[in-house]
Chain A
Amino acid sequence: MNSVNDRSRDIGPFLPGPDDDMIICRCEEITKGEIRQAVHDGMWTLTEIRRYLRTGMGLCQGQTCGRLVKGIVARELGISPAELEPATSRVPMRPIEMEVFANEVPEEKEVGSYED
């Protein structure tokens, strides 16, 4: 079992901080205070934080804030950031227009491929 499995562990009360209104996730405009509060609401994994608050769910998919959120959550839980598993990555690697995603090249017309 790891340090975030027992959800009854006492992590102390939520104490407001001076920089709680600083934005951490720019895509979804989530603040440091919201992230810290979510930990005290019981969201102890980065996956739960992201599902609860939408951090890292925007256009950049957490490229910018993933590391920052991790640091904040770890500090709040009193553990090392390395103990927190980063959230999963999903297709697509980059946002892609629906009409492009829908437009699969038929096999015989594939371009840029090897010709014997």
Chain B
Amino acid sequence: MKRYDLIIVGAGPSGLSAGIEAAKKGLRTVVFDENEKPGGQLFKQIHKFFGSKEHRAKVRGYVIGQQLLEEADEAGVEVVLNATVIGLYQDKEVVVKRGGQIEHYKGNAVIIATGAAENMVTFPGWTLPGVIGAGAAQTMMNLHGVLPGKRVLMLGSGNVGLVVSFQLEQCGCEVVALVDAAPRVGGYGVHAAKVARTGVPFYLSHTIVEAEGTDCVTGVTIAEVDNAFHFIPGTEKHFDVDTICLAVGLSPMSQLLKMAGCKMVDDPKKGGQVPVCDPHGRTSLPGVYVAGDVAGIEEASSAMIEGRMAGIAAAEFLGYIGKDEMESELASLDKALDGLRQGMFAPQNRGKQITETEEGIEVSQNLLLHGYVADDELERYPGVTHKAGVHPVIECTQNIPCNPCQDACKKGCISIGSKITSLPIVVEGSECINCGMCVAGCSGQAIFLVDEDCGDGTATVTLPYEFLPPPEVGTRGKGLGRDGKAVCDAEVVSVKSMKAFDKTNLLTIRVPKEYAMKARFFKAV
């Protein structure tokens, strides 16, 4: 039977990373993926990633996908697409369906990197056409160029729900409500804030009562729930929608490991049934490894590190590197992964209610309840300062592992320090030159350049703008508050677009000066 040193199942971020690492160390490596395009979910991710430079922060997901493919190609990884692994048998035998036939392969080692599948929730009408997973919506929009619907209700305020809501708006859909049964927003506050400021209302402690329609979705009713998740009568709200998007979590796709006889464990913190494995992906079956979401739901950034770890572990298992080399490489990856697993959203904090930042500042409750920091909460954060002339206002209020902003500013105006989760501060005495790199470089779209008093009763606000086409200079409209409601008149005075901004346009609007700290989005009227 044809044999490889390493067979990897799944060409997503973890599988490709594993393949690159292993092939670089001399392993004859093949990656099978059932899709016609590699990259897993990466090519659907049009937003900039969080993290640090070494985690490819502020690079858009699909670009990371392209980079990984190039690296895999250089390293000599064979990536086989349209190849569905239908079974993992004894003796690490992998059976692959390709075209009209099946092929048998054996791996001296096997890495399963099959990712995850979307969860569903039930409510009357959940089987109607028009009820779709958020990931499916993303596939339609970003891979196939198909609009999922015109008016959409999103259920789920985790990062997937938030990111996809924003993308739906970018595509021209109207997101009529973002709903979550939980009492607080689950995803990053900055993701929530960029959705809220476009005018999407958040309904926390709400869930779907019923999807309406006979042949397809024509409407939806939501209602508030109490602590026991029971509906509170009289709180029903109705929306006319053609699409209901569900972003209610992911489940590891661990079937291949189960059928191969790996020891499994049900771990709600990891998203469901996962293989029992050590921190570097070794399962209970010698030579079988896991990496990425299949071993526990996390982000693409950690999946890439896990993939590299499994690739290195497999290289040592097969004698391509020594134990010492493995251990030193794994130690540095451990550190990198640990860096990503810090902050308020770290795995160990899942389910915990965090009331204070690492700096001891009270967490914005309005952000958790409504998706945006309230005007009266904003001033307590270290990124929000005031001075004459143009200066950055950093509305980053939660400890997340992300620091591109401090490198973005060549003038040293922004500092995070050595701890990657610290809130960014505006460095006292530094001089802002209004270059806009911080605005474009913030993956959370949370940095604004504000001139609070231009001397003529107006102020200017420069904001990140990722909608196409951008308005022309001179366009008049409304300045929207963080809640997405019109607060003042506004006029576009500048639209900047540069290669270094990586497709984030910088819109500068002129508003009455009392709205300098209130207007955060622009809508033409």
Interface residues of A (CB under 8 A from B): 19, 22-24, 26, 32, 61, 63-68, 81-82, 85-86, 88-94, 96, 99-101, 103-105, 107, 110-114
Contact = CB atoms under 8 A, between A and B. Distances in A.
A59 to B, nearest CB: 14
- The 3 A-B residue pairs whose C-beta atoms are closest, nearest first, are A91-B87, A89-B255, A92-B86
B127 A100 contact: no
A85 B266 CA distance: 8
Contacts of A101: 102
Contacts of B98: 111-112
From DSSP, what is the main secondary structure of chain B's interface residues?
strand
Interface of B: 1-2, 4, 28, 30, 34, 78, 80, 83-87, 89, 95, 97-98, 100-105, 117, 119-124, 126-127, 251, 253-256, 258-259, 266, 268, 272-273
A91 B95 contact: yes
A113 B102 contact: no
Contacts of B272: 67, 86
Nearest to B272: A67
11 contacts: A22-B122, A88-B259, A89-B254, A91-B87, A92-B86, A92-B87, A94-B34, A101-B102, A110-B2, A110-B105, A112-B83
Contacts of B28: 114
A19 B28 CA distance: 54
Contacts of A91: 86-87, 89, 95, 259
B127 A23 contact: yes
A61 B251 CA distance: 14
A82 B273 CA distance: 9
Contacts of B127: 23, 26
Nearest to A89: B255
B101 A93 contact: no
A16 B258 CA distance: 35
Contacts of A85: 266
A103 B86 CA distance: 14
Given A22-B124, A89-B258, A89-B259, A111 B103 contact: yes
A32 B122 contact: yes
Contacts of A32: 122
A78 to B, nearest CB: 15
Contacts of B101: 100, 103-105
Nearest to B87: A91
Given A81-B268, A100-B101, A113-B4, 5 more contacts: A94-B34, A94-B86, A104-B103, A112-B80, A112-B98
B84 A103 contact: no
Contacts of A66: 251
Contacts of B87: 91-93
A34 to B, nearest CB: 14
Contacts of B89: 91
A20 to B, nearest CB: 11
A94 B114 CA distance: 13
A19 B80 contact: no
A113 B105 contact: yes
Nearest to A32: B122
Contacts of A110: 2, 103, 105
B1 A107 contact: yes
B103 A93 contact: no
B471 to A, nearest CB: 42
B261 to A, nearest CB: 10
A108 B195 CA distance: 56
Contacts of B84: 93-94, 96
Contacts of B122: 19, 22, 24, 32, 68
A64 B255 contact: no
B117 A63 contact: yes
Given A19-B124, A23-B127, A89-B255, A82 B266 contact: yes
A93 B256 contact: yes
Nearest to B101: A103
A97 B144 CA distance: 26
B259 A104 contact: no
A97 to B, nearest CB: 8
B178 to A, nearest CB: 23
Nearest to B32: A112
Given A91-B87, A93-B85, A67 B102 contact: no
A90 B86 CA distance: 9
A104 B124 contact: no
B259 A90 contact: yes
B86 A112 contact: no
